[in-house]
Amino acid sequence: MTTQTTKTPSAPASKDGATKGLIGLPENIGRALATIGGALAVVSTFLAWTWTSAFPGDLTVYGYPGGLQVLVLIGGALTTLFGLASYGVKGLRWLTPAGADGAIKLAATGTFATTWYTVIAISDELGGVVNLEPGGFIAAAVTLAAFLGAFSLPFERPEEEHIDEDETVGERIGRIWRHIVALLKSAVFTPSPVPARKLPAFAEILVIVAAMAVGLTVFTYGIGTEYDELFVGFLITVGFLFAALSKAGLVARVSAITGRHSTITMFGAFIAAALFPFTQSDDQYATIGVYILIFATVALGLNIVVGLAGLLDLGYVAFLGVGAYTAAMVSGSPSSPFDLHLPFWLSALLGAAVAMVFGVLIGAPTLRLRGDYLAIVTLGFGEIFRITVLNMDGTSGPDITNGSNGISSIPNLDILGFDFGLEHTILGFTIGRFANYFLLMLLITLIVVVVFKRSSDSRIGRAWIAIREDETAALAMGINGFRVKLIAFALGASLAGLAGAVQAHVTYTVTPEQYQFAHVVPPNSAFLLAAVVLGGMGTIAGPLVGAALLYLIPAKLQFLGDYQLFAFGVALVLLMRFRPEGLIPNRRRQLEFHEEAEAPAVLSKTGA
């Protein structure tokens, strides 16, 4: 109680009660409660929470946390660590460069939410609270205590809005809602952290390696979640803990370091991703991995068109289709009209080239339009592609694409004697078919990332951003707008075509249904755009994260069933309301949307 008050942002605690916590407990009790509650939550995960293994994950074992308990364990541990750091414990200060209170609140909330979700899920699925062992009750109680304790930490309350005398009911609800939002926001508010002193280069690289390892672990865990409950718990825990870490200022610290070593970070991330198949014992999750990569790569290509050049393209998936169909037709498939079997590098290049030609053909007439008109025209062209392919079946058109049956039995790739269809043993690890394609696709992703990075930081990339910012001024600066936009469009198209060439081999079959505007399964134009917007426009990491989430959530939450698209819509609306710049914001856009926030005046690195 002596040292921590200097660390909290609300040091002048006696401004006529303006800095009280949300819950009326005294600050010192609240802080102790949160810290000890977190620790007890860790302990409780070693107890049995239920008596039967009917609930997935086997939470019946004493002394060995399983399933959802692991998530609670991590959340509880982090809450305790943040709590201890707020007491000024030596050696933990680095955890909270921006102050601990906001982080404690979010970590405690995450732990509380995961625990209670588990307890409620057990009671619900097994029929009543009788199914809980004492451990379950203890976990629920201590996490609730930690949650209440955390929210009795004081904070600077927002000013009440002026109340209009004759407000309507609607206005009243709006005002109360805004007040609640502002209250919650300021409850977890922390000032931006002080810039860290530079670490020695090897230490910074160690930090990057550690961050990559954490990232790989989290991602692998998320892909490997075997049942709905665990995935929901995973999302809750990861969401809150990530928010807690960023409130603590750690995320800003790490991204400052990765910004300084962007090349090392990039290759580190790809090595981490390449290690993923080696962490898997069978091919089941590599399948998900390769589909995520295809989706993410195409989303990244779209990000050049949408995020950099600001051209809203609603028919982008057509270029993936062009690439896939091109590669399929020259793959030696029996249902292809051409009796050709080109090596992969040639068919991939051909796929990219044909997609680029289509990009130019579609772009040349449409890119003279601006804004909404362009969006509508590209939407139309995307559908035209699909319907054309559907009709070229020999009855309603020339027999080229085999209509709705598509081009099937596309043979597996064979590069330099390495058959992608077979299992291989590398260094004692068995790598199956999808893992092979995962590694190949990763290479394509790397190409697209490099293309994105290099083109965005160049004369042409600056011209794209200038056009996005103000087309008239850009033209007056001597930029040939049409030409530059066409380059963006063609480049985006050819990258999608490249990804399509691999996709054709992964899926065995290409059919027109895979390339619709909106569909339950990604990739499709709507989901691609959603991945870009959700992840963060104009960044590299944004579409990758967005695509991973958009693929995993429908794949993992089978119970949503018919409500999948509805839930997707709700999530998008909420995200756009509260974080319009996306999960991983470009620094420019963050400033654009949060002007009132204390903006770092200096933008040291361009782009992401």
State the residues that interact with another protein by CB under 8 A: 450-451, 454-455, 457-463, 465-466, 469-470, 472-481, 487, 491, 588-589, 591-592, 599, 601-604, 606
DSSP bridge partners of 50 = 132
Which one, 22 or 467, has the nearer CB to another protein? 467
How far apart are CB 589 and another protein at their closest, in Å?
7
Residues contacting residue 88 through CB under 8 Å, at least 6 positions apart: 3, 4, 7
Say how many Å lie between the first and final Cα of the chain, rounded.
40
How far apart are CB 185 and another protein at their closest, in Å?
23
How far apart are CB 590 and another protein at their closest, in Å?
10
Tokens for 406, please give them: 């598509």
Which one, 428 or 478, has the nearer CB to another protein? 478
* Contact in structure between 378 and 362 (CB atoms under 8 Å): yes
d(CA 211, CA 209): 5
Comparing CA positions, the residue from 540, 547, 485 lying closest to residue 311 is 485
Which one, 160 or 469, has the nearer CB to another protein? 469
How far apart are CB 584 and another protein at their closest, in Å?
17
Helix or strand or coil: residue 257? helix
Strands 424-426 and 429-431: antiparallel
Which one, 456 or 524, has the nearer CB to another protein? 456
How far apart are CB 216 and another protein at their closest, in Å?
28
Which one, 400 or 465, has the nearer CB to another protein? 465
Which one, 423 or 469, has the nearer CB to another protein? 469
Which one, 210 or 477, has the nearer CB to another protein? 477
Which one, 477 or 573, has the nearer CB to another protein? 477
How far apart are CB 587 and another protein at their closest, in Å?
9
How far apart are CB 599 and another protein at their closest, in Å?
7
d(CA 360, CA 489): 7
Give me the half-sphere count of Cα atoms (radius 13 Å) on the Cβ side of residue 233.
Answer: 30
How far apart are CB 586 and another protein at their closest, in Å?
9
How far apart are CB 352 and another protein at their closest, in Å?
13
427: which DSSP letter?
T
How far apart are CB 491 and another protein at their closest, in Å?
7
Residues contacting residue 111 through CB under 8 Å, at least 6 positions apart: 38, 41, 72, 75, 76, 78, 79, 143, 146, 147, 237, 240
Query: Can you say how many angstroms the Cα of residue 434 is from the centroid of all Cα atoms in its chain?
Result: 22
Which one, 130 or 476, has the nearer CB to another protein? 476
Helix or strand or coil: residue 343? coil
Tokens for 491, please give them: 């480049």
Measured CA distances, 549 to 20, 324, 379 (Å):
37, 24, 24
* Contact in structure between 146 and 31 (CB atoms under 8 Å): no
Which one, 427 or 476, has the nearer CB to another protein? 476
Phi/psi at 510 (5° precision): -115, 130
How far apart are CB 360 and another protein at their closest, in Å?
13
For 432-590, strand residue ranges (E) read none
Cβ density class 191-205: b for 16+ within 10 Å, e for less: eebeeeeeeeeeebb
Which one, 386 or 468, has the nearer CB to another protein? 468
* Contact in structure between 331 and 507 (CB atoms under 8 Å): no
How far apart are CB 494 and another protein at their closest, in Å?
11
Comparing CA positions, the residue from 471, 449, 467 lying closest to residue 459 is 467
Which one, 177 or 593, has the nearer CB to another protein? 593
Comparing CA positions, the residue from 212, 274, 551 lying closest to residue 437 is 274
* Contact in structure between 121 and 107 (CB atoms under 8 Å): no
